[in-house]
């Protein structure tokens, strides 16, 4: 049996905590997504290893505010590598059905990919060009 | 006897158009394409992770995408990264299908402004071929734009205008600035065998329904019915020549890595503004020691992009709801071409508004990466669906220092040396961008935006690859003549964006296609 990686859990819950209707990363597919990506992408795996080495040994048990402060220090030390980690967390978060459902409830943007449904739009109304058209070539 | 009358290298917009036109006249054509057909199910537009695919393995950037058909491009010395697609249909597979034409003055930049060079042809000469290209691709739009020459009615009426675009239109009207519905190669109605667009908004990923005008659906089925032989998985590494220096065909690797040869009476290069100079420079011989057709030394020089900037407008209310097509639904020529009082020559097109999906918003597409941690969701809600982007598409000027060369070390998967780009945005473009950002701010303010965010130069915007084998009457300062025929090699033609003398401030594909069709017509006439 594979146990949860408490360090990764603490990292993700600090990067993407819940907020009102928005689920925390730990309640979405992000942990699985992130874990698989870290194994498949050496760059991400290396960045996570760098964070493990850079952060306090008790990072996972610290308060959210303390963890945020610790991560900000890492971000200041190597913004590009830190941004890569954040980007991958966002990638996992914004493909999660629960997250996209919140997006739809709040904005109307449908929680589905562009195809096959597309979007319904009113046809073009040529009256918006009244008074500004010149004749077309026949 | 040669294997074929005409060998076309590349099955994108220009290669498809030339192949179709030539075969229509009964000319035997073989086309070599290093990629494959894109099947509808190949396009990851119906997957939950479509936004991730678009930014990674289905990116328009070949250095990110890294599909087997792609070749690497050394882009370390350019702020604008090259975008293209290698496959049947070429970069039209991933184009936003905005389809504006050059303006008449774009062909006479030297005469009008004293910079760059004039083209050896006029807009009026090209106009019939623009019309033919429009009919083949299927263009939605409406004639009557007072800022451009009169033209025939578009094959289809304009595409829908969403609420965000209407907001921008109202702002243009308040400022008294020109705007017009864009010509877009996307079907507003059924067009022939192709369905109407369902406004999914992700045109740049490819179109599984065929509603978008791409060369694989607009030209290739007809060309194949006319007898063109299209060989996919065929990666050309040399244009062969005889002792007299005439083109005799090409050598290529097939998909198994075996070297193949095809012979032809004439060769047409249609491999885009990077691929064509790459192949010409690789095709050295005793008669062409600096590369094929390169006695002028200009093969690979004068690389032009369109430097593109964007200004995001943020509203305190829903802007568009995230619906509608990509590309630009309207354009403005208010600042097109040289204007009195500007501190730059030539000008830019304004196009928009662009809208973006959730993940792109989180990743900072509006110009400001979203914060992580507490506050992330509040910032997402502030931006998503409440923002639009005005695109500033600037005319670039040709400079010999902006180049495509052969990288001394980088190679593709077949061991063919890869191209390297060296490019700098010039001061004229920088001033133009500044002007465009300032004017765009006026638009957003007139539209009621509460905040704007500048993106002064989009890096992932190098779709427009032009100028690297330019056209001209003088063989000393151009590579091909007014028909696209190489000055040095009378049976070698170039029909892609390489031949552009200047680049206007509009998307180049309709002009590329029109030039390809015109060159094909010239070849047909020459053979009679």
pLDDT tens for each residue of B169-224? 999 999 999 999 999 999 999 999 999 999 999 999 999 999 999 999 999 999 99
Q: For position A1, what pLDDT does the model report? A: 42
Say yes or no: B176 contacts chain A, CB-CB below 8 A: no
CA B204, chain centre distance (Å) = 12
Which residue in the block uniquely carries the two structure tokens 């008790």?
Answer: A58
Say yes or no: B201 contacts chain A, CB-CB below 8 A: yes
Q: Is residue B403 part of a domain?
A: yes
How many Å lie between the alpha carbon of B198 and the closest alpha carbon of chain A? Answer: 5
How many Å lie between the alpha carbon of B179 and the closest alpha carbon of chain A? Answer: 10
Estimate the share of chain B in helix, then strand, then coil, as percent rounded to the nearest 5. 30, 20, 50
Q: For position B321, what pLDDT does the model report? A: 59
SS3 B104: helix
Does A3 have pLDDT greater than 80?
no
Say yes or no: B189 contacts chain A, CB-CB below 8 A: no
How many Å lie between the alpha carbon of B41 and the closest alpha carbon of chain A? Answer: 11
Both tokens of B308, joined, read 């593109």
Say yes or no: B385 contacts chain A, CB-CB below 8 A: yes
How many Å lie between the alpha carbon of B313 and the closest alpha carbon of chain A? Answer: 17
Say yes or no: B171 contacts chain A, CB-CB below 8 A: no
Query: Which residue in chain B has the smallest CA separation from A108?
Result: B321
Q: Which residues of A touch B160 (CB under 8 A)?
A: 121-124
Q: For position B325, what pLDDT does the model report? A: 59
Contact between B457 and B425 under an 8 Å Cβ cutoff? The reply is: yes
Helix-then-strand count for chain B, H and E: 13, 16
- Rounded to whole angstroms, the Cα distance separating B64 from B55 reads 8
Per the structure, how many domains does chain B have?
1
| Interface contact B202-A114, CB threshold 8 A | yes
B 37-56 residues with CB < 8 A to A: 45-52
Q: Which residues of B touch A136 (CB under 8 A)?
A: 143-144, 150-153
Both tokens of B403, joined, read 């180049």
Q: Which residues of B touch A99 (CB under 8 A)?
A: 358
Q: Is residue B376 part of a domain?
A: no
What is the extent of the structural domain holding B400? 4-354+386-527
| Interface contact B385-A17, CB threshold 8 A | no
pLDDT in tens, chain B (528 residues): 999 999 999 999 999 999 999 999 999 999 999 999 999 999 999 999 999 999 999 999 999 999 999 999 999 999 999 999 999 999 999 999 999 999 999 999 999 999 999 999 999 999 999 999 999 999 999 999 999 998 889 999 999 988 889 999 999 999 999 999 999 999 999 999 999 999 999 999 999 999 999 999 999 999 999 999 999 999 999 999 999 999 999 999 999 999 999 999 999 999 999 999 999 999 999 999 999 999 999 999 999 999 999 999 999 999 875 666 565 689 999 999 999 999 999 999 999 888 889 999 999 999 988 999 999 999 999 999 899 999 999 999 999 999 999 999 999 999 999 999 999 999 999 999 999 999 999 999 999 999 999 999 999 999 999 999 999 999 999 999 999 999 999 999 999 999 999 999 999 999 999 999 999 999 999 998
Query: Which residue in chain B has the smallest CA separation from A118?
Result: B200
* DSSP state for residue B82 in the 8-state scheme: B
| Interface contact B318-A91, CB threshold 8 A | no
Query: Which residue in chain A has the smallest CA separation from B170?
Result: A128
Q: Is residue B234 part of a domain?
A: yes
| β-strand partners of B123 | none
Sign of CA dihedral B59, B62, B63, B65: positive
How many Å lie between the alpha carbon of A109 and the closest alpha carbon of chain B? Answer: 6
Mutation target among A27, A94, A134 for the B interface, most CBs of B within 10 A:
A94
| Interface contact B146-A134, CB threshold 8 A | yes
Contact between A9 and A31 under an 8 Å Cβ cutoff? The reply is: yes
Does A136 have pLDDT greater than 80?
no
Q: Which residues of A touch B58 (CB under 8 A)?
A: none
Contact between B334 and B491 under an 8 Å Cβ cutoff? The reply is: no
Q: For position B409, what pLDDT does the model report? A: 98
Q: Which residues of B touch A97 (CB under 8 A)?
A: 48
Write the burial class of residue A78 (CB in 10 Å: 0-12 exposed, 13-18 middle, 19+ buried). Answer: middle
Query: Which residue in chain A has the smallest CA separation from B54?
Result: A91
- Rounded to whole angstroms, the Cα distance separating B334 from B316 reads 28
pLDDT tens for each residue of A9-68? 999 999 999 999 999 999 999 999 999 999 999 999 999 999 999 999 999 999 999 999
Q: Is residue B402 part of a domain?
A: yes
| Interface contact A136-B323, CB threshold 8 A | no
| Interface contact B158-A124, CB threshold 8 A | yes
For residue B87, which of B283, B280, B253, B271 has the smallest C-alpha distance? Answer: B271
Of A87, A132, A138, the CB nearest to B146: A132
SS3 B230: strand
Say yes or no: B124 contacts chain A, CB-CB below 8 A: no
For residue B118, which of B515, B522, B474, B519 has the smallest C-alpha distance? Answer: B474
SS3 B130: helix
Q: Which residues of A touch B197 (CB under 8 A)?
A: 118
| β-strand partners of B237 | none
Q: Is residue B360 part of a domain?
A: no
Of A87, A109, A119, the CB nearest to B199: A119
Non-local CB neighbours of B407 within 8 Å, separated by 6+ positions: B74, B417, B418, B419, B420
Q: Is residue B464 part of a domain?
A: yes
Say yes or no: B524 contacts chain A, CB-CB below 8 A: no
* DSSP state for residue B474 in the 8-state scheme: -
Q: Which residues of B touch A134 (CB under 8 A)?
A: 144-146, 150
Q: Is residue B381 part of a domain?
A: no
| Interface contact A124-B143, CB threshold 8 A | no
B132: domain CATH number is 3.50.50.60
| Interface contact B144-A16, CB threshold 8 A | no
Query: Which residue in chain A has the smallest CA separation from B181?
Result: A129
- Counted across chains A and B, CB pairs separated by less than 8 A come out at 153
Q: Is residue B364 part of a domain?
A: no
Q: For position A17, what pLDDT does the model report? A: 97
């Amino acid at each position: 049996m594979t146990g949860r990686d408490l360090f990764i859990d603490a990292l993700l819950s600090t990067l993407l905590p819940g907020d009102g209707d928005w689920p925390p990363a730990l309640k979405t597919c992000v942990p699985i997504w992130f874990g698989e990506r870290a194994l498949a992408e050496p760059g991400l795996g290396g960045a996570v290893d760098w964070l493990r080495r850079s952060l306090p040994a008790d990072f996972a048990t610290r308060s959210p505010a303390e963890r945020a402060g610790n991560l900000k220090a890492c971000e200041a030390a190597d913004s590009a590598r830190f941004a890569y980690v954040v980007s991958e967390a966002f990638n996992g978060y914004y493909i999660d059905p629960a997250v996209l459902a919140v997006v739809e409830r709040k904005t109307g943007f449908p929680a589905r990919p562009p195809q096959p449904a597309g979007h319904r739009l009113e046809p073009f109304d040529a009256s918006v060009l009244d008074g500004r058209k010149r004749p077309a070539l026949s | 006897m040669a294997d074929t009358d005409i060998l076309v290298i590349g099955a994108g917009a220009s290669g498809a158009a030339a192949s179709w036109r030539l075969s229509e006249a009964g000319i035997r054509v073989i086309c070599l394409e290093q990629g494959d057909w894109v099947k509808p199910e190949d396009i990851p537009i119906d997957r939950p992770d479509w936004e991730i695919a678009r930014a990674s393995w289905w990116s328009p950037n070949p250095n990110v995408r890294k599909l087997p058909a792609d070749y690497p491009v050394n882009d370390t010395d350019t702020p604008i990264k090259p975008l293209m697609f290698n496959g049947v249909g070429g970069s039209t597979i991933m184009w936003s299908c905005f389809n504006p034409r050059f303006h008449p003055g774009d062909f006479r930049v030297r005469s009008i402004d004293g910079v760059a060079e004039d083209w050896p042809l006029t807009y009026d000469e090209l106009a019939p071929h623009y019309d033919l290209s429009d009919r083949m691709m299927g263009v939605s739009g409406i004639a009557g734009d007072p800022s451009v020459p009169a033209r025939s009615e578009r094959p289809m009426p304009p595409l829908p205008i969403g609420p965000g675009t209407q907001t921008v239109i109202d702002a243009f009207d308040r400022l008294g600035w020109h705007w017009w519905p864009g010509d877009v190669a996307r079907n507003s109605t059924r067009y022939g065998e192709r369905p109407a667009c369902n406004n999914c908004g992700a045109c740049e990923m490819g179109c599984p329904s065929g509603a978008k005008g791409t060369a694989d659906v607009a030209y290739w089925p007809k060309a194949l019915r006319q007898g063109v032989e299209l060989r996919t998985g065929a990666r050309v590494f040399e244009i062969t020549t005889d002792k007299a220096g005439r083109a005799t065909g090409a050598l290529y690797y097939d998909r198994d890595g075996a070297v193949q040869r095809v012979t032809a009476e004439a060769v047409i290069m249609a491999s885009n503004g990077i691929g064509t100079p790459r192949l010409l420079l690789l095709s050295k011989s005793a008669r062409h020691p600096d590369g094929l057709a390169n006695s002028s030394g200009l093969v690979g020089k004068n690389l032009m992009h369109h430097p593109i900037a964007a200004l995001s407008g943020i509203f305190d209310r829903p802007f568009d709801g995230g619906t509608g097509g990509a590309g630009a639904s309207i354009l403005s020529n208010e600042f097109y071409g040289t204007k009195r009082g500007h501190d730059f020559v030539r000008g830019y097109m304004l196009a928009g508004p662009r809208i973006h999906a959730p993940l792109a918003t989180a990743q900072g597409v509006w110009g400001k990466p979203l914060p992580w941690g507490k506050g992330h969701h509040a910032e997402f809600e502030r931006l998503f669906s409440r923002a639009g982007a005005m695109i500033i598409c600037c005319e670039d000027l040709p400079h010999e220092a902006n180049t495509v060369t052969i990288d001394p070390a980088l190679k593709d998967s077949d061991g063919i040396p890869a191209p390297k780009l060296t490019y700098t945005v010039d001061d004229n473009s920088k001033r133009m961008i500044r002007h465009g950002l300032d004017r765009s701010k006026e638009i957003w303010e007139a539209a009621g935006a509460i905040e704007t965010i500048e993106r002064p130069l989009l890096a992932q915007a190098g779709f427009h690859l032009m100028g690297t084998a330019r056209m001209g009457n003088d063989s000393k300062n151009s590579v091909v003549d007014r028909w696209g025929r190489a000055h040095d090699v009378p049976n070698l033609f170039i029909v892609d964006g390489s031949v552009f003398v200047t680049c206007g401030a509009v998307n180049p594909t309709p002009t590329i296609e029109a030039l390809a069709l015109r060159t094909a017509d010239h070849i047909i006439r020459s053979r009679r």
